[in-house]
């Protein structure tokens, strides 16, 4: 059965493929059965082949390899005959042609990579065709179409970046290289500092590829705490931060940042009644924030793919902050099972952190369970909507202020609780111990500081 050149495509465009490489790979396997183990990782599906006959043959080879059967000329021929894919005469003749068409068995990985590269080009052409058709129809929102287009092309690239198994000695070399860079204080591999020294010592900072969950009851100050971290990373560490707020507008976030940096009360920023000294502090704070690589996004109900598309356009991101989890959309068909939706979102956020190799700090609400206990300290079981939140997160942080609950005691009650004291409870830590970090809360300026960094306006 002779090979035929197939030339289908978009508007007469010939789709790229290499019949010689496809024949060479199949011929090498027929001549030397061990070869399939060398190419199965590069070509893990028959879909990488373009010629229909080659797809059928390689699919049979892969199935036999997976089942532990010997893959050679005779066994492949018998398998194809049993599947009625080839008859005895033409099948035998075609397999013999393939066996004679391999220039060099030692180069089989190179031939396999040719096939993979041609497949990626065909996928790019096919994806571009679909994008053109959808754009021409005009039925899809342009923003959604752009996000979808970026995601599809990114998925093609991601398929090329998949790494296989590595011997432990190779991984150890990479590990020692990273330790050497850390020893030399190379910022490219160091965790991102939160600005809270005691917290950094417990969790070793915000590590790349980590999903960090920051949870608290409403009004406890989690948005303020997240903004404090974002401001420190952008202004002090001089890194790039993206802050997605699904609850507050960008203007509200900017106002909080100014209040925290200038130590001017948030109430005064809302009323505009400022002294000359406060104006000067605001101007100085504005200068500091103007130089920061801090990006704010106030898109309500944003999805993880939409975030990913925006972050890819931003490039070289060092930290992503999301406020907050329960307001996000899964992007799929809405269901009554919110637990399942949240599970899908947290799983995708963890994938996002790994793909972009950055820490993702995601805020979350807590259930009312903590308020029903005499000791109001939050627990992992208080995480709202899904147990997968705890499962997917590398680190879980809880914010707790005992003074928060004094409002329930009435205005005339005398409290011995320090209204400015707070804690960050490290409830889960894949990198070390769990602990409690003492904080100082400045409610007027909506900010937390570590005890050693405490200062008054």
Q: Catalytic residue positions?
A: 247
Helix (H/G/I), strand (E/B), else coil: 324: coil
Give yes or no for a contact between 287 and 235, defined as CB atoms under 8 angstroms apart. Answer: no
Bin 18: left if φ > 0, else alpha if -120 < ψ < 50, else beta. Answer: beta
Q: Regarding beta strands 447-450 and 360-365, do their DSSP bridges make them parallel or antiparallel, or are they unpaired? A: unpaired
Phi, psi (rounded to 5 degrees) for 103: -65, -40
Longest dimension (CA), the chain: 99
* Residue 442 β-bridge partners: 447
Torsion of CA 237, 242, 248, 253, to 10 degrees: 30
Give 9's contacts (C-beta < 8 A, 6+ positions apart). Answer: 15, 125
How far does CA 258 lie from the centroid of its chain?
Answer: 30
Instruction: Kindly provide the residue ranges of all beta strands, DSSP E only, lying in 166-323, ordered along the sequence.
Output: 211-216, 241-245, 294-297, 319-323
Alpha-carbon gap, residue 220 to 229, rounded angstroms: 16
Q: Which one, of 299, 264, 265, 297, lies nearest residue 280 by Cα?
A: 264
Phi, psi (rounded to 5 degrees) for 147: -60, -45
Q: How many CB atoms lie within 10 A of CB 415?
A: 11
324: preceding bond cis by omega (within 30 degrees): yes
């Amino acid at each position: 059965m002779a090979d035929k050149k197939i030339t289908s495509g978009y508007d007469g465009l010939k789709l790229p493929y290499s019949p010689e490489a496809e024949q060479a790979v199949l011929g090498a396997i027929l001549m030397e059965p061990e070869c399939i183990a060398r190419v199965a990782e590069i070509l893990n599906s028959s879909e990488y082949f373009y010629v229909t006959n080659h797809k059928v043959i390689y699919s049979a080879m892969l199935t036999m390899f997976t089942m532990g059967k010997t893959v050679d000329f005779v066994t492949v021929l018998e398998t194809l005959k049993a599947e009625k894919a080839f008859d005895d005469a033409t099948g035998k003749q075609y397999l013999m042609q393939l066996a004679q068409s391999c220039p060099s068995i030692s180069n089989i990985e190179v031939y396999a990579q040719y096939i993979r590269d041609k497949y990626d080009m065909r996928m790019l052409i096919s994806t571009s065709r679909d994008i053109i058709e959808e754009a021409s129809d005009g039925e899809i929102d342009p923003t959604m179409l752009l996000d979808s287009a970026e995601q599809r092309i990114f998925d093609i690239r991601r398929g090329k970046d998949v790494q296989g198994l590595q011997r432990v000695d190779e991984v150890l070399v990479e590990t020692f290289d990273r330790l050497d860079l850390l020893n030399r204080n190379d910022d490219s591999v160091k965790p991102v500092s939160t600005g809270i020294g005691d917290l950094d010592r417990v969790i070793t900072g915000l590590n790349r590829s980590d999903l960090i969950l920051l949870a608290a009851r409403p009004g406890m100050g989690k948005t303020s705490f997240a903004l404090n971290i974002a401001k420190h990373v952008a202004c002090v560490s001089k890194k790039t931060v993206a802050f997605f707020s699904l609850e507050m507008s960008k203007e509200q976030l900017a106002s909080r940042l100014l209040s925290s940096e200038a130590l001017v009360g948030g109430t005064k920023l809302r009323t505009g009644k400022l002294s000359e000294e406060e104006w000067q502090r605001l101007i100085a704070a504005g200068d500091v924030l103007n130089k920061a690589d801090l990006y704010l996004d106030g898109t309500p109900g944003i999805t993880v793919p939409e975030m990913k598309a925006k972050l890819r356009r931003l490039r070289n991101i060092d930290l992503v902050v999301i406020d907050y989890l329960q307001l996000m959309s899964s992007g799929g068909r809405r269901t009554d099972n919110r637990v399942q939706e949240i599970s899908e979102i947290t799983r995708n956020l963890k994938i996002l952190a790994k793909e972009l190799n950055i820490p993702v700090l995601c805020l979350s609400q807590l259930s009312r369970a903590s308020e029903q206990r005499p000791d109001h300290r939050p627990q992992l079981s208080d995480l709202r909507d899904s147990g997968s939140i705890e499962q997917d997160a590398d680190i879980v942080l809880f914010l707790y202020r005992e003074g928060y609950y004094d409002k329930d005691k009435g205005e005339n009650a005398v409290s011995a609780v320090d209204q400015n004291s707070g804690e960050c409870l490290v409830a889960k830590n894949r990198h070390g111990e769990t602990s409690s970090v003492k904080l100082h809360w400045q409610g007027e300026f909506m900010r937390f500081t570590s005890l050693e960094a405490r200062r008054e306006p």
